[in-house]
Structure 1
Amino acid sequence: MHSSRRTEPVRRRRRRFDDDLADDDLPIRPPSTVDDLDGRAGHDPDAPPEGDRWSTWPSVPAGARGPRPWPPWLVTDAGAVDRDRGLLKTGKEADVHLLERGLPGRPGVLLAAKRYRDPAHRMFHRDAGYLEGRRVRRSRETRAMAKRTATGRALIAGQWADAEFAALARFHRAGAPVPYPVSVAGTEVLLEFVGTPDGVAAPRLAATRPGPDELAALWGELAGALGLLADLGYAHGDLSAYNVLVHGGRPVLIDLPQVVDVVGNPQGPAFLDRDVRRIGEWFTARGLPPGAPEQLLAELRERAHLSP
């Protein structure tokens, strides 16, 4: 016997925009495995004949490649392979590996591969102040970042990688002493390796013991570099003797994901002041005249068009 009562169909609300998706509903593609390639675990039919992977250069878009003119040492061949030659540096947010890129059977060029750690294994504790003034267009992405969901942490990591690459490209064009940015892909930034041809990285400023003349020369070079950044309206954002390399007697600025727009970021002037104070303390402790940092700060504020 059939009931005479009719069941009303359940009406599902139609989502009008992607932003209606809950943050935890954002699709995240699981990492592929070797089994996905041909069903035979441990064998990748598309792997290079030697090395750890094919060069990523052919697969990155033009906007994710370093600024032109490309340096003569840059390897752009589609048949090049990348070989990981070990860990150079480990940090709270990223690890830096030594990478050799070249054609099979030929000597390659050394690069530094900065790889921001998986969101599940690290956290950017200081991102709030640094990210002020930066824009994320899609509101669902903004919410995910604010809530620190897995998606949000991945977006933040991507922002840091993109920010560092963009800053390096901008400063390199301006003539600042920074490593040449080769490319950015996901959370990996490939950089010019600053060191010897046999893979010994240049020392950090903190590890050097400069004499009086070298100290004065390094301060003058560093002041000039910070002046170039100020002309563009930026501060390093986390400057210390640990993120300045000394190569060929000259300073090289590194670790620039947190570069700060000193005008657009409300905390920009405070970051600039802190940069000069911290690096100045290292130099004055080794014989630099005590008034030099304050003089430099005044010059940088003027060049960045900040009020006294």
Structure 2
Amino acid sequence: MKAPPRLQTLVDEGLIDTVVRQLMSGKEAMVYVVRCGDETRCAKIYKEANNRSFRQAVDYTENRKVKNSRQARAMAKGSKFGRQAQEAAWQSAEVDALYRLAAAGVRVPQPYNFFDGVLLMELVTDADGDAAPRLNDVAFTPEQAKAHHATLIGEVVRMLCAGVVHGDLSEFNILLAHSGEDGSEAFPVIIDLPQAVDAAGNNHAQRMLMRDVANLRDFFGQFAPALKRTAYGPEIWSLYQAGLLDIDTPLTGQYTPAPGAVDLASVMREIDDARDEDAARRERMAQ
């Protein structure tokens, strides 16, 4: 197919040889299958801020580091330069998270290059070598659901130990890849990380981790109902806060809060819901 304008620059630079087809178009980006020499990869083109539908970006960008103080001041003022800097920081956040998590042993696509707002990375494939499906497109036996849930809880822990919370983890941004000579080994690969947050530096990190883990529980609980009774989220976070969490820490899936402890996650959810309702009311009044 003809290369889209945003990819033509990469073709001209020799980073891409040909564009094979569009793979998907989501709320954040469009993804294309491309050929780079003998390898098939994917190219993720980030949408401009005014063309995407992702909400509550301010929660995700809290305390993110920028290159210099000038950029930080411009971003705070909301100037044109500041908006451009904020957009660049949003896009590069996924690249940084991919390298950071890959180094920590988390199963994420291998990044290769980031050029002019386009991320070149590994194409995650299924047993036939085609683009791997998302979890929401796959049905599981109870045993498979339990196994994949356990794997992903381990990935959440590994990410947290690396200081990262995905922030939008669900069955829609996890791929089911295959490996082995006969392609029989299936394993989940986590994608879509531009909204990843620093666990220690973002005040919303706990709430986001709780939601990520709850999403995994609810999805796999459809196939293995016993998972719906687990409480890995608060267990993981309490161990993390106490400095007792590492990638080998045994988890039970059970959690009993200390007497008189405040459920901070619930309080934060109530605050966020109230804020969203107020924003919606203001929007209706302005129409």
TM-score normalised to structure 1 length: 0.67
Write the deviation string for residues 4-49 of structure 1: whole angstroms up to 9, x where unpaired: xxxxxxxxxxxxxxxxxxxxxxxxxxxxx9xxxxxxxxxxxxx99x
Correspondence for 1:83 among 8, 18, 36: 18
Unaligned runs of 5+ in 2: 179-185, 245-256, 258-287
Write the deviation string for residues 217-271 of structure 1: whole angstroms up to 9, x where unpaired: 1111111111101111221110111000011211100001111112211111111
Q: Following TM superposition, by how much is the alpha carbon of 1:214 offset from its aligned partner in structure 2, in angstroms?
A: 1.0
1:112 is aligned to 2:42: yes
In structure 2, what is the equivalent of residue 243 of structure 1? 173
Q: Following TM superposition, by how much is the alpha carbon of 1:298 offset from its aligned partner in structure 2, in angstroms?
A: 0.6
In structure 1, what is the equivalent of residue 222 of structure 2? 285
Pair 1:85–1:147, CA change in 2 (3 A)? farther
1:169 is aligned to 2:99: yes
Higher helix share: 2
Q: Following TM superposition, by how much is the alpha carbon of 1:122 offset from its aligned partner in structure 2, in angstroms?
A: 3.8
**Runs of at least 4 residues off by over 6 Å:** none
Pair 1:162–1:301, CA change in 2 (3 A)? farther
Correspondence for 1:98 among 33, 38, 47: 33
Q: Following TM superposition, by how much is the alpha carbon of 1:191 offset from its aligned partner in structure 2, in angstroms?
A: 0.9
In structure 1, what is the equivalent of residue 277 of structure 2? none
- Tell me how far apart the structure 1 counterparts of residues 141 and 128 of structure 2 sit (CA, whole Å): 27
Q: How many residues align?
A: 232
In structure 1, what is the equivalent of residue 207 of structure 2? 270
Q: Identity rate of aligned residues, in percent? A: 33
Pair 1:304–1:225, CA change in 2 (3 A)? farther
- Tell me how far apart the structure 1 counterparts of residues 240 and 202 of structure 2 sit (CA, whole Å): 17
In structure 1, what is the equivalent of residue 160 of structure 2? 230
Query: 3-state SS of the aligned residue for 2:99?
Result: helix
In structure 2, what is the equivalent of residue 207 of structure 1? 137
- Tell me how far apart the structure 1 counterparts of residues 53 and 87 of structure 2 sit (CA, whole Å): 9
Pair 1:197–1:186, CA change in 2 (3 A)? farther
Q: Following TM superposition, by how much is the alpha carbon of 1:82 offset from its aligned partner in structure 2, in angstroms?
A: 2.3
Once superposed, what is the RMSD of the aligned Cα atoms?
A: 2.8
Unaligned runs of 5+ in 1: 1-32, 34-46, 57-80, 103-107
In structure 1, what is the equivalent of residue 232 of structure 2? 295
Instruction: Answer yes or no: is the 8 Å Cα contact 2:126–2:133 preserved in 1.
Output: no
Larger radius of gyration: 1
- Tell me how far apart the structure 2 counterparts of residues 272 and 93 of structure 1 sit (CA, whole Å): 20
Q: Following TM superposition, by how much is the alpha carbon of 1:284 offset from its aligned partner in structure 2, in angstroms?
A: 1.4
Query: 3-state SS of the aligned residue for 1:87?
Result: strand
Pair 1:296–1:134, CA change in 2 (3 A)? closer
